[in-house]
Amino acid sequence: MPPPVVPPKDEEQPNFAQRLEEKIWNYNTSGGFVKRWLLEIISWTLSALCMGAIVTMLLYFKDKPLPKWPLGLTLNAYIAVLAKVASIALVLPTTEAIGQLKWSWFTGDPKEMWDFEIFDDASRGPWGAFMLLMLLFRSKGRSFAALGAIIVIFSQALDPFFQQVVSFPERLVRDARNSTLTNVVEYTPIKEILFQNGVRMVMEDPETDNVMDRFFFDNGTQPIPFGNGMRPEIPLSCPTSKCTWPKYDTLAVCSSCTDLDASEFLAFDCQTVELDWLFHRNPSPVDPPLPKANGTVCGYFLNSTSDDPTLMTGYLIDVVDSSANFSARGWGPNATLISRTLPLVTIPRRRLLFGGSINYKHVYHRIADVIIVSAPDAASVHQNSTPVIQECMLAWCIKTMQSSYDRANYTEEELSRTYANAANLPFPLTAEVVSDGTDSGTAVVPNYNVNVTIHSPETGKAYGVTNDTALASIQSFDLIFPSMTVARNSSDDDADLFFDLSFVSPPRRKLDFNPWVARENYTIGGHMERLATALTDAMRSSRSKNYVNGTAFDVEIYVSVQFYWLILPLGLLALSLIFLLSTMIRSSHERDRVGIWKNSAIAALIYGLPDEMQRKITSSVAKGTPRARAKGLRVRMLSKRWRVSGNLFSPMPPKPKRNRTPPGWI
């Protein structure tokens, strides 16, 4: 019978990975120069394209607003993905070139077998690349593989460099809307005219009087916290979080205070004088004399050697004579004058003291000019301590301002002040006695004889108020200048403020905070400056206000690019190209001796060591491990085999023969 026929088995078809591997192997073993390195060229090109895409995108979006892409994709994510692909694609041709140079390393002089593993590790990561550099440095061997090792090491740092290339700071961009704030060119207050006996006496200004009252009898208006700063005290419109205004002028009230020399203007003395600070007399020019009180006082006098000395701070020793009911008022010995404000234009006759001013005669259109003398408390007065003396002035002026608004914080900078010059001009404030010809009474009527006009030094534009408004502002300060702070004795902490001395019996007021008494961490000059600012803000908030247009800015996040961070990535890209091309050229010259093996281990299998040598290396009798013994073995790759050299495997010494005892011997 014929033997049974067994059908042949179908050959197993290769899968995709096997087919791809076979395709790559065919390219590596082909005769074409480019085909043998096609995969590496494609990989390097991919890395270059990714870096080029990053650079192109950065050039396009540089200094532009942050782009908004679909699905929440950000520019950072775009750069991170491309940077990772670029770094991976850059390593492949470099490691393959190092693998090819591994075979070239052994074509020259004999090298240690240990070098084979170092080259192999260098193509797998930065640690192996570092060891390869150490090998080449130690052996002083000149190999182009050192450049590849450097590329592998520095390629690990590409991601941080790509991340540092771009940042997203904020910047201000101009908004289409305008910002506004107010200034005043000509102030015209609400007119509330007071008549007495058919004569117009005063024109009150409720817009500023409310502000004055807080500063006359308290510490003034306090700023209100708002946002990151304080709330603006003027009408302001800023449609965004950041607004600026150009330099602008506004009509304003300006203040200035100057310390005076107490030794020049004040003198300590004890005299018997009229007690005008306890029982004030304001005689009318035609009415009968009013009752008065005289007493002995000690303290600091202004014009102490004149016929009419004025006690500025001091205390009562005793009452000498009084035609008034002095004791009924509750005042007696030890009554203390703590502070006094003395205007240099008297009330009501408007006579000038010291020529109307000591330090500010050059300033025209002064609203108030006053000497303020103050001791910190009643006890210091009884100790005869020298008080503080100042001259303070308020006047109409032009302020040149620069304003800005940033994140709910309004700031205002005063650049300059401009006053009207009083040179060779008569004092504008006068007074006259007016009588209706009957017994109904008389009055002293003040007049301000000119309108207030101040010209801007830069634009020449006129700013000011009418003479009626100027007079009203002066009369508003008659309420507090002159005034006096009086305590009942040296230990009295609850002093009274006498004010509005135009009346025969002036009112007095107990204050929680007396702004006209100098004390630690408080200056009257600073109080006057805040008063002037508050009056200016009140005018800028009135119906006389004008609007100044400014610029509104919106916050925009933009793309900031620092291209110098690309020096390392682009440098490695160029070096890897040089390294790859150099390896390709060298491998083409060594093809007949080496072949294109790259990182393939097939060459080590094909050109393996002889069986006898393998047995010696792996022998369990030999001393040391195979890895350790390979360090001392020197090999050279010939065309089809390894040539081994070295004295590592010397023959074992013969064992000496032992003498044996002959049989039968003990």
Distance CA(93)–CA(659), nearest Å, equals: 68
User: Which residue has tokens 């009898």?
Assistant: 217
Distance CA(439)–CA(263), nearest Å, equals: 48
Beta strands in 263-343 (DSSP E): 266-274, 293-302, 310-322, 336-343
Lowest mean pLDDT among 36-40, 241-245, 365-369: 36-40
Name the strand (E) or helix (H) holding 537.
helix 524-540
Residue among 445, 415, 450, 448 at smallest CA distance from 431: 445
pLDDT tops 50 at residue 620: no
142 or 180, greater pLDDT? 180
Helix (H, G, I), strand (E, B) or coil at 274: strand
Average model confidence (pLDDT) for the chain? Answer: 82
Model confidence over 189-231: pLDDT tens digits?
Answer: 877 666 766 666 555 677 788 899 999 999 988 877 776 677 7
Name the strand (E) or helix (H) holding 453.
strand 452-455
Which pairs count as long-range contacts for 493-502, CB under 8 Å and 24+ apart, including other chains? 493/377, 493/378, 495/336, 495/338, 495/378, 497/217, 498/277, 498/280, 499/216, 501/280, 501/282, 501/347, 502/282, 502/347, 502/348, 502/478
Q: What are the φ/ψ torsions at residue 404 (nearest 5 degrees)?
A: -150, 155
pLDDT band at 607 (very low <50, low <70, confident <90, very high): low
* pLDDT cut 90: percent of the chain above it: 43
497 or 45, greater pLDDT? 45
Structure-block tokens of residue 419: 């006053």
- DSSP letter at 14 equals P
| Contact predicate 492/336, CB 8 Å | yes
Residue 21 pLDDT: 61
Distance CA(94)–CA(152), nearest Å, equals: 7
- Convert 100-165 into a string of H (helix), E (strand) and C (coil): HHHHHHCCCCCEECHHHHHHHHHCCCHHHHHHHHHHHHHHCCCCCHHHHHHHHHHHHHHHHHHHHH
Helix (H, G, I), strand (E, B) or coil at 222: coil
Instruction: Tell me the pTM.
Output: 0.68
Helix (H, G, I), strand (E, B) or coil at 490: coil
Residue 189 pLDDT: 87
Residue 223 pLDDT: 78
Segment 505-525 mean pLDDT: 89
Other CB atoms within 10 A of residue 426 CB? 9
Question: Any bridge partners for residue 242, and if so which?
Answer: 406, 553
Single-letter residue type at 593: R
Structure-block tokens of residue 234: 């003027």
Distance CA(390)–CA(73), nearest Å, equals: 69
Segment 333-360 mean pLDDT: 92
pLDDT band at 513 (very low <50, low <70, confident <90, very high): very high
Other CB atoms within 10 A of residue 394 CB? 26
604 or 623, greater pLDDT? 604
pLDDT band at 401 (very low <50, low <70, confident <90, very high): very high
Torsion of CA 30, 35, 38, 40, to 10 degrees: 60
Residue 641 pLDDT: 65
142-179 burial, b at 16+ Cβ within 10 Å, e below that, comes to ebbbbbbbbbbbbbeebbebbeebbeeeeebeebeeeb
| Contact predicate 436/198, CB 8 Å | yes
- Convert 569-608 into a string of H (helix), E (strand) and C (coil): HHHHHHHHHHHHHHHHHHHHHCCCCCCCCCCCCHHHHHCC
Question: Any bridge partners for residue 297, and if so which?
Answer: 271, 316
Structure-block tokens of residue 427: 């004092």
Residue 29 pLDDT: 59
pLDDT band at 570 (very low <50, low <70, confident <90, very high): very high
Other CB atoms within 10 A of residue 114 CB? 15
pLDDT tops 50 at residue 283: no
Lowest mean pLDDT among 74-88, 159-173, 237-251, 620-634: 620-634
Name the strand (E) or helix (H) holding 88.
helix 75-105
Interior CA angle at 331 toward 325 and 334, to 5°?
Answer: 140
| Contact predicate 552/240, CB 8 Å | yes
Segment 144-150 mean pLDDT: 83
Residue among 66, 80, 86 at smallest CA distance from 568: 86
Report which listed range, 66-70, 132-136, 390-394, 652-656, is most confident.
Answer: 390-394
Distance CA(450)–CA(452), nearest Å, equals: 6
Burial class (CB in 10 A: 0-12, 13-18, 19+), 429: buried
372 or 289, greater pLDDT? 372
Question: Any bridge partners for residue 274, and if so which?
Answer: 294
Residues 6+ apart with CB under 8 A from 477: 212, 343, 367, 368, 394
Segment 174-188 mean pLDDT: 93
* pLDDT cut 70: percent of the chain above it: 76
Return the sign of the alpha-carbon dihedral for residues 156, 159, 162, 164: negative
pLDDT tops 50 at residue 306: yes
Model confidence over 414-469: pLDDT tens digits?
Answer: 999 999 998 889 999 999 888 756 655 677 889 999 999 999 999 999 999 999 99
Instruction: Tally the C-alpha atoms within 13 A of residue 329's C-alpha that lie toward its C-beta.
Output: 22
pLDDT tops 80 at residue 663: no
User: Which residue has tokens 């690309």?
Assistant: 566
Whether cis (ω within 30° of 0) applies to the bond prior to 239 is: no
pLDDT band at 4 (very low <50, low <70, confident <90, very high): low
Lowest mean pLDDT among 272-281, 543-552, 569-578: 272-281
pLDDT tops 60 at residue 329: no
Model confidence over 110-126: pLDDT tens digits?
Answer: 777 777 777 777 777 78
622 or 573, greater pLDDT? 573
Interior CA angle at 217 toward 253 and 296, to 5°?
Answer: 110
| Contact predicate 587/594, CB 8 Å | yes
